[in-house]
Chains A and B, each alone.
Chain A
């Protein structure tokens, strides 16, 4: 037996990130103190180390931010598109320049592996600003009439799973279209948005165009309900999304919602098996499964169930879980104690309901929030873990016999965000893709994102699209 090829620790240096002990709110171009909001600690989910303190913004703070954004809107929307474009190009460039720093920061605050922040999050963040920068002076060609107008002040509430990327998805199209924004980052991951404020400073963005109000659910609710907000964009849970939809009912606020999912990843018997296994792994273990479009339900054709599961388990035993800053880490920490508790409870329920639980042997660090990659086999449509979004590294495996059955099972959910299809038969891929009720279909691939590609859900996964030409519609008065 050959000696084992042990990878020595390869930690990314955190010296590139200079954290202040505490942060105020970024309103009207400067960091300001809150009117009465207290300071909250944000911790590294991998170690529970306190990284910094940030401000819990109050309704009063939100109002101040909205007023700043309203004031800035007059001049920002009146700027020639070409000028707005140049600001966005500048932001994109500064993000590229500071991408190492931001990747490390994001990994610290979120717990996701540096491999992902470095190779996925940050490149996509920069690409998103580049893409929408180019739209700013071409809005008349976007298919919304010759001179589409911005909406005004956008109130944006983003989640903790891709903090900076979700910021980019929200802010880039809003600014390109001529809106100004008040953005509330997630409670557990406020830091990259606060660093983005500094990027706005370096880019010379006019004051008030981007305002960052950190805080919790109450802060977000105040923003969504603010009467002078013209547009609400939210990415997060379906439950909160419904509450927001009720809040804006009867107003003139335009609303887009990017919510939960329970994506089906369908593997046919003629799939390119090795790539399918990679796709399954990427589908549910990317970002510890804390992805709204995760392929959390594996629908595998019964005739190849055992083969695919064997290959999958073999592959999972090579996943490396641990220090997110280590460049060889595949699986990082769960973002918060709260999320870990939810994942744990749902996985326990899966077991209690009779599904068979499996995890590769892997040692979990003693501090921080960790959950081993987990596969449930013998899952049926009736199991809770086949229906509820777990938002963690937990895969539920179901079987099907025919393409019809696969489609029926895939669609049998209130969600409709993503789905995967694995087959080497082109006509079957197209037929199945045509019948799946989901906004993003990945065939022979999974979890691919691009600023030019519209993203968003059917049914209870929300409405509106982010990305591409379609993503402009949410920020234009059309």
Chain B
């Protein structure tokens, strides 16, 4: 079996037989590659049990990704819109708001970020609503690598994670060495999570193995402690077929999370691209037994929208993903709207911006 790159630790000791929808793709590859018949040793190259061989070469990877079912854009968007008409009221809304708050990766990714700004953000993440201690903390704060120490300090002892963007975020236009240095610095500074960007240029040029190898290298640099979120910048991939392929590519390479976007381009998280990625993680788990998280980022600003995204999760990937270990919102202004809605629900009055903290 050709070497497919460094392997992430997955906690799975034996390959799970391919099942469900994607077994037919495996069948398609049966002629090209040898399916693993024995358990990979710990630390072996099988990143996704049962699908390891599709990453054996550029051509097998290309054949696999191009063999994934197509996406009909209109149907996908119609499904996302239909789920958006769910009416989430009273107890369900209370549950959803708290869940959404707990899923926020509270983010600041500005050139003007300072330790002071990051400290304020960290405090907010730990205690989003100072007036109501029952309000859950957010999942994480998300910052640039050089802000990781300040962020760690701000959330110390709280359980709130520190996520760092890396790999020459947001463009990703740097050498692998520079990207890996970026990652190592963030991890060394204590980042619990690394949000990397893929090389969209390589992806769009069809050099899938390059993208794959970069992700596996970053995964290795993350070590066993930091979880890796792989950002596709879906707005630049431009088509749903590409997003599905990127999702599988990222998961094959060992992503712990697949993430829509950087928040730095015109089109970021949308209901449709998030739905599509939820389908991908659902199908990937069905095929391999490995569960991967999803993080829509950018553009989700209202509690109403966030709740709709949770409906997408609930009715696509299912309840197993309704936990901040498996689903996140990359956002900043969203949190305050969630808090105001939460206050409204608790008090019956509409809240206002003066009753939530401005950071």
A–B proximity contact (CB within 8 A)? yes
**Interface residues in chain A, defined as those with a beta carbon under 8 Å from any beta carbon in chain B:** 1-10, 115, 119, 269-275, 278-279, 303-304, 307, 310-311, 318, 327-328, 424, 444-445
Residues of the B chain whose Cβ atoms lie less than 8 Å from the Cβ of A6: 91-92, 95
Answer yes or no: B323 CB below 8 A from chain A CBs.
yes
Q: Smallest distance from the beta carbon of A397 to chain B beta carbons, Å?
A: 16
Residues of the B chain whose Cβ atoms lie less than 8 Å from the Cβ of A303: 24
Docked complex Cα distance between A431 and B139 (Å):
52
Residues of the A chain whose Cβ atoms lie less than 8 Å from the Cβ of B95: 3, 5-6
Residue from the list B86, B88, B89, B320 in contact with A2, Cβ < 8 A: B320
B323-A278 in contact (CB<8A)? no
Residues of the B chain whose Cβ atoms lie less than 8 Å from the Cβ of A10: 87-89
Answer yes or no: B265 CB below 8 A from chain A CBs.
no
Which of A271, A272, A279, A328 has the most chain B CB atoms closer than 10 A to its own CB? A272
B86-A328 in contact (CB<8A)? yes
Docked complex Cα distance between A274 and B78 (Å):
12
Residues of the A chain whose Cβ atoms lie less than 8 Å from the Cβ of B72: 272, 275, 424, 444-445
Residue from the list B20, B23, B85 in contact with A327, Cβ < 8 A: B85
B69-A274 in contact (CB<8A)? yes
Q: Smallest distance from the beta carbon of A211 to chain B beta carbons, Å?
A: 37
B79-A4 in contact (CB<8A)? no
Interface residues of B in 316-357 (CB under 8 A from A): 319-323
A275-B20 in contact (CB<8A)? no
- Excluding A2-B319, A5-B322, 10 further A-B contacts by CB distance (< 8 Å) are A2-B323, A3-B95, A4-B322, A5-B99, A5-B319, A274-B76, A275-B75, A278-B78, A444-B72, A445-B75
Residue in B closest to A310 when the chains form the complex, CB atoms? B20
B91-A8 in contact (CB<8A)? yes
Q: Smallest distance from the beta carbon of B98 to chain A beta carbons, Å?
A: 11
Residue from the list B21, B23, B92 in contact with A311, Cβ < 8 A: B21
Answer yes or no: B310 CB below 8 A from chain A CBs.
yes
Docked complex Cα distance between A43 and B102 (Å):
46
B21-A444 in contact (CB<8A)? no
Q: Smallest distance from the beta carbon of B280 to chain A beta carbons, Å?
A: 10
Q: Smallest distance from the beta carbon of B143 to chain A beta carbons, Å?
A: 27
Residues of the A chain whose Cβ atoms lie less than 8 Å from the Cβ of B21: 273, 307, 310-311
B322-A327 in contact (CB<8A)? no
Residue from the list A4, A271, A445 in contact with B74, Cβ < 8 A: A445
Residues of the B chain whose Cβ atoms lie less than 8 Å from the Cβ of A4: 319, 322
Residues of the A chain whose Cβ atoms lie less than 8 Å from the Cβ of B70: 270-272, 424
Residues of the A chain whose Cβ atoms lie less than 8 Å from the Cβ of B314: 5
Q: Evaluate whether A275 and B79 lie within 8 angstroms (CB atoms) in the complex, with A4-B319, A5-B310, A5-B314 already known.
A: yes
List, sorted by A's number, 6 A–B pairs whose CB atoms are closer than 8 Å: A5-B322, A8-B89, A274-B71, A310-B21, A328-B86, A444-B75
**Interface residues in chain B, defined as those with a beta carbon under 8 Å from any beta carbon in chain A:** 20-21, 23-24, 69-72, 74-76, 78-79, 85-93, 95-96, 99, 279, 310-311, 314-315, 319-323
Docked complex Cα distance between A271 and B71 (Å):
9
B87-A328 in contact (CB<8A)? yes
The 4 closest A-B pairs by CB, nearest first: A275-B75, A10-B87, A327-B87, A424-B70
Residues of the A chain whose Cβ atoms lie less than 8 Å from the Cβ of B24: 269, 303-304, 307
Docked complex Cα distance between A272 and B310 (Å):
24
Residue in A closest to B88 when the chains form the complex, CB atoms? A7
Residues of the A chain whose Cβ atoms lie less than 8 Å from the Cβ of B85: 115, 119, 327
Docked complex Cα distance between A318 and B185 (Å):
44
Residues of the A chain whose Cβ atoms lie less than 8 Å from the Cβ of B96: 5
Residues of the A chain whose Cβ atoms lie less than 8 Å from the Cβ of B319: 1-5
Residues of the B chain whose Cβ atoms lie less than 8 Å from the Cβ of A307: 20-21, 23-24
Docked complex Cα distance between A10 and B89 (Å):
6
Q: Smallest distance from the beta carbon of B266 to chain A beta carbons, Å?
A: 25
B76-A275 in contact (CB<8A)? yes
B320-A275 in contact (CB<8A)? no
Q: Smallest distance from the beta carbon of B63 to chain A beta carbons, Å?
A: 15
Residue from the list A2, A272, A274, A328 in contact with B322, Cβ < 8 A: A2
Residues of the A chain whose Cβ atoms lie less than 8 Å from the Cβ of B99: 5
Residues of the A chain whose Cβ atoms lie less than 8 Å from the Cβ of B78: 278
Residue from the list B69, B93, B320, B321 in contact with A8, Cβ < 8 A: B93
Q: Evaluate whether A7 and B75 lie within 8 angstroms (CB atoms) in the complex, with A1-B319, A2-B320 already known.
A: no
Residue in B closest to A423 when the chains form the complex, CB atoms? B70
Residues of the B chain whose Cβ atoms lie less than 8 Å from the Cβ of A271: 69-70
B75-A278 in contact (CB<8A)? yes
Residues of the B chain whose Cβ atoms lie less than 8 Å from the Cβ of A278: 75, 78-79
Docked complex Cα distance between A133 and B23 (Å):
53
Which of B70, B86, B319 has the most chain A CB atoms closer than 10 A to its own CB? B70
Q: Evaluate whether A8 and B90 lie within 8 angstroms (CB atoms) in the complex, with A275-B76, A307-B20 already known.
A: yes
Residue from the list A3, A7, A274 in contact with B86, Cβ < 8 A: A7
Q: Smallest distance from the beta carbon of A425 to chain B beta carbons, Å?
A: 9
Residue in A closest to B67 when the chains form the complex, CB atoms? A270
Q: Smallest distance from the beta carbon of A326 to chain B beta carbons, Å?
A: 8
Docked complex Cα distance between A273 and B244 (Å):
12
Which of B24, B87, B279 has the most chain A CB atoms closer than 10 A to its own CB? B87
Q: Smallest distance from the beta carbon of B17 to chain A beta carbons, Å?
A: 14
B76-A7 in contact (CB<8A)? no
Q: Smallest distance from the beta carbon of B67 to chain A beta carbons, Å?
A: 10
Residue in A closest to B27 when the chains form the complex, CB atoms? A303
Q: Smallest distance from the beta carbon of B76 to chain A beta carbons, Å?
A: 6
Docked complex Cα distance between A7 and B92 (Å):
5
Which of B21, B70, B72, B322 has the most chain A CB atoms closer than 10 A to its own CB? B72
Residues of the B chain whose Cβ atoms lie less than 8 Å from the Cβ of A3: 95, 319, 322
Docked complex Cα distance between A445 and B73 (Å):
11
Residues of the B chain whose Cβ atoms lie less than 8 Å from the Cβ of A269: 24
Docked complex Cα distance between A307 and B24 (Å):
8
Docked complex Cα distance between A307 and B19 (Å):
9
Q: Smallest distance from the beta carbon of A318 to chain B beta carbons, Å?
A: 5
Residues of the A chain whose Cβ atoms lie less than 8 Å from the Cβ of B23: 307
Residue in B closest to A424 when the chains form the complex, CB atoms? B70
Docked complex Cα distance between A176 and B21 (Å):
51
Residues of the B chain whose Cβ atoms lie less than 8 Å from the Cβ of A424: 69-70, 72
A275-B71 in contact (CB<8A)? yes
Residue in A closest to B75 when the chains form the complex, CB atoms? A275
Residue in B closest to A443 when the chains form the complex, CB atoms? B72
B87-A272 in contact (CB<8A)? no
Residues of the A chain whose Cβ atoms lie less than 8 Å from the Cβ of B91: 6, 8
Docked complex Cα distance between A4 and B71 (Å):
29
Residues of the B chain whose Cβ atoms lie less than 8 Å from the Cβ of A444: 72, 74-75
Q: Smallest distance from the beta carbon of A322 to chain B beta carbons, Å?
A: 13
Docked complex Cα distance between A167 and B95 (Å):
43
Residues of the A chain whose Cβ atoms lie less than 8 Å from the Cβ of B311: 5
Which of A2, A271, A310, A424 has the most chain B CB atoms closer than 10 A to its own CB? A2
Residues of the B chain whose Cβ atoms lie less than 8 Å from the Cβ of A5: 92, 95-96, 99, 310-311, 314, 319, 322
Residues of the B chain whose Cβ atoms lie less than 8 Å from the Cβ of A274: 69, 71, 75-76, 79, 279
Residue in B closest to A115 when the chains form the complex, CB atoms? B85
Residues of the A chain whose Cβ atoms lie less than 8 Å from the Cβ of B93: 8
Q: Smallest distance from the beta carbon of A60 to chain B beta carbons, Å?
A: 47
Q: Smallest distance from the beta carbon of A317 to chain B beta carbons, Å?
A: 10
B90-A272 in contact (CB<8A)? no
Residues of the B chain whose Cβ atoms lie less than 8 Å from the Cβ of A304: 24
Residue in A closest to B323 when the chains form the complex, CB atoms? A2
Q: Smallest distance from the beta carbon of A374 to chain B beta carbons, Å?
A: 21
Residue from the list A2, A8, A275 in contact with B92, Cβ < 8 A: A8
